[in-house]
Structure 1
Amino acid sequence: MDAMLLELASSVFCDIICDVVHQYALGPFDAYINYIRNMPYQEQTLHNLGKESPQIVEILHKLQEDPRCNRLPLKSFLSLPFQRITRLKILMENIQKKAVPRSDCEASALRALTEISRLLEACNWQVGRMKQMEEIVQIANKIEFACKALALVSSSRWLVKQGDLVQILLKENMFGQRKLCPVLLFLFNDLLLVATRKGLDRFVVHDYVHRSLIEVTEGKDLEEELEGCELDRIFRLVLLHNHQSATSQLLLQTNSEAEKDSWMQLLGGRRDGQDTVYEEWDCPQVRCIEVYSGQQQGELSLQLGDMINVMQKTSEGFLEGRRVQDGQRGWFSAACVVEITNEHVQRRHLRQRYHVLQTATRLLKQRSGGLELSTTKCFK
């Protein structure tokens, strides 16, 4: 802030304050993002030190009693960097409002406000990502695998929903009753874990599947005989390609119809169609076979051999994607690229194969009343 102080010393109006904010928001202020991302760890470390060492608490109390601290705790000083950025945004907003319309002052305030807002968004996003990472690390420390283990912690993975449900076995016992087994679902942005509880705060994972390889069916649409069951709280969950590379299914019951609807919306959220939006964890990938020069804002220029992850397709023949090499995102013509085989394509083929088999099974049932999907046993 030396530039601001020098300007204030020369003129109380500080005409270039917006330009100074804009200049620093483009460069040195990025250090704030790293600082704010680690703020939760600072606070946790301070909390742990206070619990472990009464002497540290005493020293902090003495420091905070100093008049220069204005009776503020250390936490207040740790959060000051972020508070200053928010205050700069408010300052830029006020300058823009009070500036003469279409003046140089208004234009410079708008430029500074745009960059400060970008910086704040990045800070908030980083804080959110750190909280998500903390959450997934805590889950990973509480689970064990009864099946083939996988690396759960990843910077690109986060928890979407978890919850307790009941699995219903179709086969009845000698008293005409169906066995009910408690299960716990962990739904991440790219993965589903099927687990059971082990004690108060431990879990055992029995199965898992990529999120794009899930099919769900409403209870009322099932062909199974479910007399006596509350169909509005039941849905069938099919794992098309689980940890054993097999297809299995679970008949699940929730505590309420609203909870069932919530699970079905999340588990069956994938959409196939002419105009399709993809998630970055499950998207097609293309290679440029013809140079494409973007002519308008938002278009992505491509060179031969560029690899692009496709985020969106339209029926007009345009794709939106992110170039693998540098992360640049934009629109381009589908005629300039060719799709390559990746995990997304393989999973798409698995879904298509499943639907074909389902159709064939229904036809066979109509003729002979025969085939069924393999059903996962009740987890213990």
Structure 2
Amino acid sequence: MTFKWEIAKGSCNDNVIIVPHVQISENESHLFNRAISSGGGILGDLQRATIAAQTIYADNPEQPKNRSSWVLKRLFEWSHRAKSRELLRHVQAALIEGTADKEFDDEDIEKLLTVTWNELFAVNENLSLKDRRRLQALWELFNSELKYFVKQLLVLKNVFKEPLKKCQVEGCLLTVEPDLLFGNLDQLCRISRGFCKCFLSLLQKFPPNERMTAANTTELIVQLFEKFCKVSSNIAAYQAYCINYKATMDYLSTVRHKDERFSEFERVCLSDPRCSRLQLEDLLIAPLQRITRLPILLKEVLKYTENPEDQSRIEKVIETISESLRSINDSVQWLHNFERLQMLQSQVIWPSIFDMEPRCFIPDFLKAALTRQFCENLLAHPRRRLVHEGHLEFVESGKTSDCYAFLFNDMFLLTKIKKVAPRLKRSGSQMPKVDHYVVHKQPIPLDSCVFCDVDSGDSSNSMLLKFAFVIIHLTRYYQVVSVYTFQTSTKNEKDTWIEKFQEAIENYESIQLKDMLKCTPLFSNLNFQRLSSSRLMSTFNTTKP
């Protein structure tokens, strides 16, 4: 079998991809498409591959058709290696050329990395031990911020972020989003640099021989953190970074899994001596570690401060920083909780009234509206919080069945797990299995229930209860609607449920969901005029303002 090679007249050989007329199967065509999709950077490799293929087929004219698979795989392998070499060249060039931003390029600050505490404060030999400890603690506050800025933030920016952006200019790693991976890194760099510059400017206001006094060190700390906390964007920047940190790590894991060239990029960057053997995860978590360490460093200064007035001023600074940290922590917890609620809302299945009450009579004009529940968008409420969840054994009619319960800050929800078979992606890999939760009983408001502990060994008519507790559902008129008996596997699990129930009931706050129901398409599409003479009409009207 012979192959004819064609070159367009008047065109340069370097700009033409010549491919032998081999037969390509459907399963192999994607290899060829990927091999020729990277542009002129690998044309030489592709031409060498085709020439090699021509030689093979010329020597073996009776070669079977299955040889095409070998040729295409070699094309793909050479293409992949060429892309890797190209990426390596761009990353190394970016690291060698230097990507230092003039905004953060400050040699005077970097020189202070080697300055000791006694050189910075011009320590007198006659200084007491406690004063020495106080100055060392103050120096640690400044020096740790300086190291954080130079050896972590700037390394993250100059060794990873800027080279990544330069590679993208050259057409590499275009699927990676630097803003998703590094967040508001530039803003944190400006804040940290400003902190160091402010510390030095305040220190220079005092004569060298007066920098050691407790009053001046206290004044320096108070003014420094007044300026730091006065700018609301400083705390907001750390708050934004902390909130997005979990999503950043998830995105990093996804990028590593989907784009192996990013792993090569990361490997080259980590070989830079500025990384000092720190991994990318170590650098990304540095802002969280830094902001949480500030109160600890300030308490160390307070520990060696004797004057009550100075102590009071430093304690106020510590309380201000701690309050900011609590606000950041609350925001992070709220976001994680709300993400969990959104996920649950998509996983929880609310049975229709036809499934719950198959014997009830429903007029024809209502059947379409009642095929689904109005509470499908109930869970993801900004004020709702998931307190606890876990497996329980539901005791019903003398028998036990497995169930999965959710305890929120306003209600208790009992569900049954519905297993979902894993689906295949287009690439052939399996998608992660996500179970669904079918609501087994109607939600129980925490202000309409009674929680009862059952002693171990308490026997009923037909079975022995172990590690059990009971929830009694009451109406607003204290009528008992239902009684639910549950068992746990261990005593520790039962104690946890009891503790969480007590916590939730004590902290219960009523959540009004009227506005949420009105936004539900099922609710808004219901024709109320058809219900003018029914009891359902009066019930729904109570939700109108």
TM-score, reference length from structure 2: 0.43
Aligned positions of 1:1-380 closer than 5 A: 1=195, 2-8=197-203, 13=211, 15=217, 16-28=220-232, 29-31=234-236, 32-103=238-309, 105-147=310-352, 148=373, 149-150=375-376, 151-170=378-397, 178-199=398-419, 201-206=435-440, 207-219=442-454, 226-240=460-474, 247-257=481-491, 259-264=493-498, 266-267=500-501, 279-281=508-510
Q: Match of 2:382, SS?
A: coil
Identity %, equivalent residues: 23
Contact 1:215 1:239 in 2 (8 A): yes
State the alpha-carbon separation in 1 of the partners of residues 496 and 315 from structure 2. 41
State the alpha-carbon separation in 2 of the partners of residues 92 and 268 from structure 1. 37
How big is the shift at 1:75?
A: 2.5
How big is the shift at 1:24?
A: 1.2
Distance 1:49 1:267, change over 3 A: same
Partner amino acid for 1:112? V
State the alpha-carbon separation in 2 of the partners of residues 60 and 269 from structure 1. 46
State the alpha-carbon separation in 2 of the partners of residues 119 and 230 from structure 1. 52
Contact 1:238 1:250 in 2 (8 A): yes
- The answer to which of 147-156 and 43-52 deviates more is 147-156
Partner amino acid for 1:3? C
Distance 1:225 1:88, change over 3 A: closer
Distance 1:47 1:241, change over 3 A: farther
Distance 1:218 1:121, change over 3 A: closer
Distance 1:79 1:166, change over 3 A: closer
Distance 1:124 1:266, change over 3 A: closer
Partner amino acid for 1:47? S
State the alpha-carbon separation in 2 of the partners of residues 128 and 120 from structure 1. 12
Distance 1:5 1:141, change over 3 A: farther
How big is the shift at 1:56?
A: 1.8
Distance 1:212 1:48, change over 3 A: same
Q: Deviations over 1:283-314 (max 9, x none)?
A: 9xxxxxxxxxxxxxxxxxxxxxxxxxxxxxxx
State the alpha-carbon separation in 1 of the partners of residues 202 and 382 from structure 2. 43
Distance 1:198 1:7, change over 3 A: same
Distance 1:45 1:257, change over 3 A: closer
How big is the shift at 1:204?
A: 0.8
Distance 1:145 1:77, change over 3 A: same
Partner amino acid for 1:22? E
CA RMSD between the two structures: 3.5
How big is the shift at 1:20?
A: 0.9
How big is the shift at 1:98?
A: 2.0
State the alpha-carbon separation in 1 of the partners of residues 293 and 486 from structure 2. 50
Q: Match of 2:308, SS?
A: coil
Distance 1:65 1:20, change over 3 A: same
Q: Match of 2:225, SS?
A: helix
Q: Match of 1:167, SS?
A: strand
State the alpha-carbon separation in 2 of the partners of residues 279 and 250 from structure 1. 21
How big is the shift at 1:26?
A: 4.0
Distance 1:268 1:122, change over 3 A: closer
**Greater strand fraction, Structure 1 or Structure 2:** 1
Contact 2:412 2:444 in 1 (8 A): yes
TM-score, reference length from structure 1: 0.60
Contact 1:18 1:112 in 2 (8 A): yes
Contact 1:25 1:112 in 2 (8 A): no
Contact 1:100 1:106 in 2 (8 A): yes
Contact 2:408 2:504 in 1 (8 A): no
Tell me the residue number matched to 2:14. none
Distance 1:256 1:102, change over 3 A: closer
Structure with higher Rg: it is 2
Q: Deviations over 1:350-371 (max 9, x none)?
A: xxxxxxxxxxxxxxxxxxxxxx
Partner amino acid for 2:341? I
Partner amino acid for 1:23? K
Contact 2:472 2:480 in 1 (8 A): no
Contact 1:22 1:115 in 2 (8 A): no
State the alpha-carbon separation in 1 of the partners of residues 341 and 504 from structure 2. 23
How big is the shift at 1:230?
A: 1.9
Partner amino acid for 2:418? K
How big is the shift at 1:198?
A: 1.0
How big is the shift at 1:196?
A: 0.7
Q: Match of 1:38, SS?
A: helix
State the alpha-carbon separation in 1 of the partners of residues 221 and 504 from structure 2. 48
Contact 1:22 1:116 in 2 (8 A): no
Distance 1:237 1:110, change over 3 A: closer
Q: Match of 1:71, SS?
A: coil
Partner amino acid for 1:66? D
Tell me the residue number matched to 2:58. none
Tell me the residue number matched to 1:317. none
Partner amino acid for 2:388? K
Distance 1:92 1:211, change over 3 A: same
Contact 1:235 1:252 in 2 (8 A): yes
State the alpha-carbon separation in 1 of the partners of residues 279 and 507 from structure 2. 46
